[in-house]
């Protein structure tokens, strides 16, 4: 999805200013850098600068911070941390081409990265895949 994180961060930034929040959390990950340049740390730092210039709160001295706690974790580590925190991965889908019933394709980059992460974590992937 081109510029997805740019779009989502813009919406989050507008909302953050309305509610007076200074921290915005984003689930980007280093494994995705090659296909999605707006997952890179340089992009996140640059967006923070934009936030300072593009908002009333920023111009008045507030400092928005984009927090990306998963950025340097492996997919397996993210899965293990999620499991530790009680995430029900059966309720999640990573696919960019999921069917109308929400079933993942199992073939796209995102599905393959997810499957590799669960394999590396030695855990079964409970998401629904198309047959």
- Report the interface residues with Zn ion, using CB under 5 A: 95, 104-105, 108, 111
Q: What angle do the packed helices 41-54 and 4-19 form, to 10 degrees?
A: 40
* Residue 34 or 46 having the CB closest to Zn ion: 34
Helix/strand/coil for 23: strand
* Residue 108 or 119 having the CB closest to Zn ion: 108
* Residue 83 or 97 having the CB closest to Zn ion: 97
List the Cα angle 14/68/118 in 5-degree steps.
Answer: 125
Min. distance of Cβ 16 from Zn ion in angstroms?
31
For residues 99 and 77, give the distance between their C-alpha atoms in angstroms, rounded to a whole number. Answer: 28
Min. distance of Cβ 118 from Zn ion in angstroms?
14
Min. distance of Cβ 87 from Zn ion in angstroms?
19
């Amino acid at each position: 999805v081109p510029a997805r994180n740019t779009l989502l961060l813009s919406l989050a930034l507008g909302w953050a200013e309305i509610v007076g929040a200074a921290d915005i959390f984003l689930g980007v990950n280093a494994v995705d850098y090659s296909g999605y340049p707006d997952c890179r740390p340089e992009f996140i730092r640059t967006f923070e600068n934009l936030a300072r210039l593009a908002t009333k709160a920023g111009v008045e001295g507030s400092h928005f911070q984009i927090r990306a706690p998963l950025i340097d974790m492996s997919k397996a580590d993210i899965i293990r941390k999620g499991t530790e925190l009680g995430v029900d991965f059966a309720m999640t889908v990573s696919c960019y081409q999921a069917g109308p019933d929400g079933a993942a394709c199992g073939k796209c980059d995102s599905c393959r990265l997810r499957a590799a992460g669960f394999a590396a974590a030695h855990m079964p992937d409970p998401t629904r895949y198309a047959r």
